[in-house]
Structure 1
Amino acid sequence: MENDKKEPAAENPYKLLDLKLTPVKTWAAGIPAVMAAFGDLIEEKTLLRGTKALFKMNQAGGFDCPSCAWPDPDDERSPLGEYCENGAKALAEEATTKRVTADFFKENSVYDLAKLDDFTIGKMGRLTEPVYLPPGASHYQPISWDDAFSKIASHLNALEVPDEAAFYTSGRTSNEASFLYQLFAKEYGTNNMPDCSNMCHETSGTALRPTIGIGKGTVKLEDFYDTDVVVIVGQNPGTNAPRMMSALEKCKKNGGKIIAINPLPEAGLMGFRNPQEVSGVLGNGGKLADLYLPVKINGDMALLKAIELILLEFERKSPGAVFDHDFIAEKTVGYDAFIGQFESYNLEHLAKESGVSAALIYNAAQMLAFKKRIIICWGMGITQQPNGVDMIKEMLNILLLKGSIGKPGAGVCPVRGHSNVQGNRTMMIDEKPTDAQLDRLRDFYGFNPPRKHGYDVVRAIKAMHEGKVKVLFCMGGNFLSATPDTTYTANALRKLNLTVSVSTKLNRSHLVHGKESIILPTLSRSDIDMVNGVHQFITTENSMGVVQSSKGMLKPVSDKLINETQIVCRMAMATLGDKSVVDWKRYANNYDAVRDDIEKCIPGFENYNERVRRKEGFYLPNLARDGKFITKDFGDKAPFTLTGLPENNLDDGEYMMATTRTHDQFNTTIYGLDDRYRGIKNERRVVFMNQNDIDRAGFKAGDKVDLFNYDDGVERIAPLFIIVPYQIPEKNTVTYFPETNVLVGINNVVKESNMPASKYVKIRIKKHDPRIYERIKK
């Protein structure tokens, strides 16, 4: 049965496909990854066009991958291709020859499109011209660019206060467009700038800034090649950052060790077959993780404290051989209080709370004890936990004990998701700008930016519900499908006067909208961007703070597309008119002009236009990378942090659920219906469970079930899932998003960072009842 509602469906249809189970993989990449990548090019009818572009992706003088933010090598780059399977799939959807035209919208109503699944919606093709949905209309209709900007301006200028508008940003937006976007919002009068960082790595920045003085990682790519130990926590590189596996392979070849900490034994943690090497094509490839710790969901804090407890025992037996006391004395504060807490901890209890045996924890501590070059990486398995900020600070505690930060081969590495999500924040896409940032804008442009903090994603959704936000402008992304509590969020969006989406493809956020809706189609990373006869380039920042150029090379699918920079400038000119003190026309005509002024407003971008034209780009300043910790409360010291153990209690019949993506998916973009590393073919509505839990509950593999969450006394239902037995800790379950985002309560957030805690959702599982759909309608 499909979501049968009067309004367009906010979720995928409630129907099953034809699940086939295949063997779970113990390695990632290899020839299957190559075949999958080119298979998508064929499916999108763009084999020649797309293949030509692949060899320019992530190459000097080419364009930056629109997928993840893993860095490119500073020196040589593979002539066979600096891309992974998911990068190739993202490129295939940009280079596709399929087109979504005005005729398409004339033939397909919003309601009918919403009954399709996300995979089908995303495969329609590239958007080709602006379209508008009038109040009460059933179909989008063509609108000129001028009329679209005029309509947006009339809505914005009709608001009682600027804070009734919110401006969302996806990670793919360039540095230039991001800078102008936040500049427009501030000149308009609001700091309501929710962005995708609020849902992925806000937790990382919240933890890192007060402890080491910068909200970014401290390592370079080359540090992975020459380190003793890499610890990977709550991250699956085989799917989320596949090119990372090449760096891990080099680490292993150079004698480094890898510790993997994750509830699931992911293929990308276990082994790697490099498709660019003979051993990866004809042989068995290489083993990655030397030690795998199957931690329970949110058992990471207990595990980290158990490792520290054992390290302390080693240190007491061999004083000065385990802890770096010179570093601790010179660079840190709070050591004595930190060590004092371990008098109250017990290894047996910590091991039980973590779900990992004391023997395995001892092995991990032993691997770290007498090493100094240690890198700790993490992903959203950490950042989307309610105590994620504390867990990152606990990982920092280990590095501070070891003196393993601010030196070659050592440091922290939050593995970012979308390609320029870090650059967006550097460009001041932030609902909480600092006074120093605002002062620089004021001094350069001559207007006084608003000082009041704006709404992040969660607060913006609540404000929409309360009528405090009436216009939502989305620069990229799929806001509805990315956010938590899907039904609540959809109802909030429907209360808006206007929703605007800058997009390359159709997605569900275009179908669940405000009273009026506008879709503005834009150029992709791989498209040629011509402005006044000049082939423009944009810039991005990768996960390790490198700013580099990106220049498209494909002919756009439509001559009615304009770039994001011009979209912002034309919206600003239409909205602000003569009141503006910014020369928006100058920026619209030349990206060099934008970069000239970025360097005057943001530290680290001196000689921006000159340095970014270098083959390798340039690194932004990073004092923590250099071993200098300038923090607000502790001067030039990094503090040890005292954290608590969470109480992860579950009632009888309750399970802990974490959402994740399939291998055929990047964020909310669904490339296919398989998850081949986990052995899932042609289905997404599955719930992974431990076999003991299945037996105890009286279920069996293949049973159809409904999932429930009751946070805040609200019944949330995700109907019709199939049970799949999996190697996962007992009482833990894993499902795919966005199908189960409906279960993530709007108030289930990470402390301090206010991110959705999508990796920590308490659920109940019941046999599927066909009558459940009537309860959902109510």
Structure 2
Amino acid sequence: MDEPKELRQRDDTVRYDHPAGGWGSLRGIAQVIGEARPSPGALDTLMRQNKPGGHMCTSCAWTKPAKPHAFEFCENGAKATLWDLTRDRCDPGFFERHTLTELRSWTDHALEKAGRLTHPLRYDAARDRYLPCSWDEAFEGIAAELHRLPPEQTVFYTSGRASLEAAFLFQLYARLYGHNNLPDSSNMCHETTSVGLKKVIGSSVGTCVLSDFDHCDLILFFGQNTGTNSPRFLHPLKSAVDRGCRIITFNPLRERGLVEFADPQNPAQMTVADPTRISQKYLQVRPGGDIAAMAGLCKRLFEMEDTRGGVLDHEFLQQHCTGMDAFASAMREASWDEIEKVSGLRRVDLEEVAEIYATSERVVGIYGMGLTQHVHGWLNVAMLVNLLLLRGNIGREGAGVSPVRGHSNVQGQRTVGISEKPELVPLDKLAEMFDFTPPRETGRTTVEAVEGLLDGSVKGFVSLGGNFARAIPDQGRSDSAWSGLDLSVNVATKLNRSHVLVGRSAWLLPCLVRSERDGDTSPRRAVSMEDSLSHVHGSVGRRAPAAPDLRSEIAIIGGLAKATLAANPKLRWDDWTDDHGLIRDLIAEAFPDMFHDFNARLFTPGGFYRGNPARDREWKTESGRAELTTPEFLCALGETPEPGGLTLVTLRSNDQFNTTIYGFSDRLRGIEGGREVVLINPEDMQRLGLAADQRVTLESTVEDGTARRIGGLRVVPYDLPDGCVAAYYPEVNPLVPLSYHDKLSKTPAYKGVPVRIVT
């Protein structure tokens, strides 16, 4: 099947000419098997993944269907599990052989490849090594440091992998200790969603459920790379296309997963049948140009309404929305020349998409970090909501706004209280339940935590998973600041960059992975997580632990809390560690609207829906209505690029998940080998006098008194919009200024950094 001309990649660029999925996906899994050397029984573990009674994947947050496929895992989900099940061990002997100074010179891939952590460890500064210790020694040592620190000078961070039960206990521990400094990985990706959607529709999460993809007739994609970041989503997309749904994508890069897909579970597509074409139309919008692109669609809708009528849903707009007059006036006055200039798209293409939208009855708007990680990311989100509201596409079957979240429980942690914003947490209820006075001061976001690290106002850092030191912006400035901490604690499964950047007192506490048994496999030891579509799933690990000394995150939180906090008969840490159902009862008591009958609904096939008022057209906004937002500008960047200027977009490769690097193949982009690359289109290469494979330096052009540059990057000719360059996250994070973030949410602007190339 030949692709339409507009869906083909250029012949003068590096590219991948095959579909996402297919045999390439199986080869990718096989390569990680060779790297990870998983222990026996790995296939049996994968067969239970994302199924009722099994464990939920630790990779992406895409939902789990009530009727799973025979293989309900994707390439990246398999990689994540196989990476967890490695036979390699990072034991005390490893640290006898390697100092932390030496380990700081290792790559991210090499650090994680050292294997599973096996023992609790404390840092010995005199020997510059981690040494084994007992759990009691770790808990007592950490508690002693916390007692010496003012609570407001500490930060408790969570990655997106911790369960709902662990997250609830962790936020309770923080507040009992005395602070709301509870940033999590959402601060670095979809906090813009939480703030933006809350502002305009009164809900901090998307409104769609899985069945909506069985009824929509148009899907609009903005800034989300499904083929790499959430490949299981390709199955409902394929099904939607097969029944006639149209998909139109706006993204700077042509990502293969949104061009075509060969279903690895479809024998015909794995042999003789053509792959499924996913996007009917693929528009390569410039970085920061999404507001302009959506303004073009809205402008055309108003033009059609003015000339022929029947385009807008006037009944819905009058009954449910506010701000229509100002928004309509702004769109009618918007200049097509400016829309084309900022978006990098042709008017004729935007008008064609608007015509398709106007004749589609049920429309879903999908987006990812391509919208959220900009200086004006919240306005990106608001503009997508504007577009959907014009035709009543929020709050009915087959329609809605659907952000695709990254890590598996990053959305759920916010649901159960991991938030630096006290107004979002039922503090009065927690005070009643646990007989204490919760702190009411607003806590630190990720950006503010790093600011505190740099200015010395943060002295203690406790991390429940993740690789915070590597994931943050301005990483080059912050690396040396970690040594100024009085305390650093990391709960982890494998070694990573954050663990070798230590404070005066540092501890590394090893935990179970989600597929491993926590004592037994009964429901009392089950945990749960929430997916991107607001469904909650139970998860039971069945693998034998990688080492006898490993503990669950819940047990580690309980041990720390018992050692740190004063005795309180309402704090039953040992009971909660032994029976996680008791924690679910607490969650149900604290959040009854969403989690009533939590234990009874835990293993509902497909998860149980926690509800969303906006889906029922109940708008929890200041106005009590859905709010149309009038954009003050059309560019989501902090400043419109000068003619000839370059904007950096950070990317994940096909061989990574967040900061975890499984290998050095970015198969779906045709890039193999090292990750020190910069992607740029041939016209910009010619304009700048660059040649393929030339080594160059990228410099940030943000002028704030700090020089930011990364050298040794290999030039790769790639199909990108003019003025756009791309490079891998987290390697180029040092180019992203800490101050360069969304204006409302403080999400770092990883998708729109002004840079120059120096030869």
Pairing partner for 2:62 from 70, 76, 79: 70
Map 1:133-172 → 2, pairs under 5 A: 133-159=123-149, 161-172=150-161
Alignment of 1:531-550 (within 5 A): 536-550=525-539
Matched AA of 2:204:
G
Q: Distance in 2 between the 1:163 and 1:382 partners?
A: 32
* Partner in structure 2 of residue 644 of structure 1: 632
Corresponding position of 2:402: 413
- The whole-number CA distance in structure 2 between the counterparts of 1:375 and 1:533 is 39
Other-structure match for 1:59: 51
State the SS of the aligned residue for 1:243.
helix
1:359 and 2:348 matched? yes
- Give 2:695's aligned residue: 704
1:508: how far off? Answer: 0.6
- Once the 2 structures are TM-superposed, how far is the Cα of residue 287 of structure 1 from its aligned partner? 0.2
Report which stretch shifted further, 525-534 or 223-232. 525-534
Q: Whole-Å Cα distance in 1 between the matches of residues 15 and 645 of structure 2?
A: 29
Query: RMSD over aligned Cα, in angstroms?
Result: 1.6
| Preserved contact between residue 38 and residue 47 of structure 1 (Cα < 8 Å) | no
The code of the aligned residue for 2:47 comes to F
Cα distance in structure 1, aligned partners of 2:39 and 2:599? 34
Q: Quickly say closer, same or farther: Cα 1:653–1:361, change in 2 above 3 A.
A: closer
Structure 2 Cα separation of the partners of residues 510 and 593 of structure 1: 32
**1:197-596 → structure 2 map (5 Å cutoff):** 197-282=186-271, 283-319=273-309, 321-434=310-423, 437-530=426-519, 536-578=525-567, 581-596=570-585
Correspondence for 1:775: none
Would the alpha carbon gap of residues 622 and 652 (structure 1) be closer, same or farther in structure 2, given more than 3 Å must change?
closer
Structure 1 residues 615 and 649, CA gap change in structure 2 (3 angstroms)? closer
Q: Deviations over 1:674-713 (max 9, x none)?
A: 1011111111111001111111111111110011114212
User: In the TM superposition, what is the alpha-carbon distance from 1:359 to its structure 2 partner?
Assistant: 1.4
Which residue does the alignment assign to 1:30?
A: 22
TM-score if structure 2 supplies the norm length? 0.95
Deviation at 1:35, TM superposition (A): 2.5
Superimposed CA distance per residue, residues 710-736 of structure 1 (whole angstroms, 9 cap, x where no aligned partner): 421211111100011111011110000
CA 1:685 to 1:599, structure 2 compared with 1: closer, same or farther past 3 Å?
same
How many aligned positions are there?
741
Q: How big is each residue's C-alpha offset from its partner over 1:9-60, in whole Å with a ceiling of 9 and x where there is no partner?
A: xxxxxxxxxxxx9642352111110222133224322264211100000011
The CA distance in 1 between the partners of 2:363 and 2:126, in whole Å, is 59
Output the amino acid matched with 1:643: P
List per-residue Cα deviations over 1:467-507 (Å, max 9, x = no partner).
21111000000011111001222133221111110000010
Shift of 1:750: 0.8
Residue correspondence of structure 1 range 710-729 to structure 2 within 5 A: 710-711=701-702, 712-729=704-721
CA separation of 1:498 and 1:667: change in aligned 2, threshold 3 A: same
Check whether the contact 1:297–1:760 (CA below 8 A) recurs between aligned residues.
yes
C-alpha distance in 2 between matches for 1:330 and 1:279: 49
Is residue 746 of structure 1 aligned with residue 706 of structure 2?
no
Shift in Å at residue 651 of structure 1? 4.2
Selected match of 2:677 from 686, 696, 706? 686
| Preserved CA contact (<8 Å) 1:62 1:550 | yes
Q: Secondary structure, in 3 states, of the residue corresponding to 1:157?
A: helix
- Measured in 1, the distance between the counterparts of 2:364 and 2:390 equals 13
Aligned AA (2:607): G
1:606-617 to structure 2, matched below 5 A, reads 606-617=596-607
Distance 1:748-1:435 versus aligned 2 partners, 3 A rule: closer
**Mapping for residues 617-696 of structure 1, pairs under 5 Å:** 617-631=607-621, 633-635=622-624, 637-646=625-634, 648-651=639-642, 654-696=645-687
Amino acid at match of 2:221: I
SS in 1 for 2:306: helix
Cα deviation 1:421-449 (Å, max 9, x = unaligned): 01100111000022761111112222111
Q: 507-516 vs 139-148, which deviates more?
A: 507-516
**d(CA) in 2 for partners of 1:533 and 1:539?**
13
Q: Is the 8 A contact 2:19 2:257 kept in 1?
A: yes
SS of corresponding position for 1:688: strand
Provide the rounded CA distance (Å) in 2 between the counterparts of 1:580 and 1:130: 28
Shift of 1:136: 4.3
CA contact (8 A) 2:524 2:580 kept: no
CA positional deviation for 1:532: 11
The CA distance in 2 between the partners of 1:346 and 1:96, in whole Å, is: 57
Distance in structure 2 (CA, Å) of the matches to 1:277 and 1:542: 26
Q: Could you say what secondary structure the match of 1:121 adopts?
A: helix
Single out whichever of 705-714 and 393-402 deviates more from structure 2.
Answer: 705-714
Question: What amino acid does structure 2 have at the position aligned with 1:137?
Answer: R
Residue in structure 2 matching 1:191, options 180, 192, 195 = 180
Give, as a single letter, the amino acid of the residue that structure 2 aligns with 1:704.
R
Letter in 2 for 1:454: G
In structure 2, the partner of 1:132 is 122
CA contact under 8 A between 1:462 and 1:492: conserved in structure 2? no
In the aligned structure 1, how far is the partner of 2:39 from the partner of 2:510? Answer: 23
Secondary structure in structure 2 of the residue aligned to 1:183: helix
- Return the letter of the residue paired with 1:463: G
Q: How far 1:649 sits from its partner (Å)?
A: 3.2
Instruction: Kindly indicate whether the alpha-carbon contact (under 8 Å) linking 1:690 and 1:728 is maintained by their aligned counterparts in 2.
Output: yes
Q: Which amino acid aligns with 1:605?
A: F
- Partner SS state of residue 155, structure 2: strand
Query: d(CA) in 2 for partners of 1:346 and 1:335?
Result: 19
**Contact 1:25/1:676 (8 A) holds in 2:** no
Q: Which amino acid aligns with 1:220?
A: V
Q: Which residue of 1 aligns with 2:10?
A: none
- Which shows bigger deviation, 612-621 or 184-193? 612-621
**Cα distance in 2, alignment partners of residues 687 and 117 from structure 1:** 18
Distance 1:581 1:479, change over 3 A: same
Q: Which residue of 2 aligns with 1:99?
A: 89
Match of 2:590 in 1: 601
CA contact (8 A) 1:191 1:431 kept: yes
Q: Residue 112 of structure 1 aligns with which residue? A: 102
Separation in 2, partners of 1:271, 1:312 = 33
* Distance in 2, Cα, partners of 1:44 & 1:377: 33
Instruction: Show CA shifts across 1:303-350 (max 9, x none).
Output: 11011011111112222x211111111111121121111242122321
Cross-structure match for 1:8: none
In structure 1, list runs of 5 or more residues that go unmatched: 1-20, 768-778
* Secondary structure at 1:171 match in 2: coil
Residues 532 and 250 of structure 1: is their aligned pair in 2 closer, same or farther, counting only changes over 3 Å? closer
Distance (whole Å) between structure 2 residues aligned to residue 652 and residue 715 of structure 1: 22
Code of the aligned partner of 1:724: V
8 Å CA contact 2:523–2:581 kept in 1: the answer is no
SS in 2 for 1:55: helix
Return the alpha-carbon distance in structure 1 between the equivalents of residues 444 and 68 of structure 2.
41
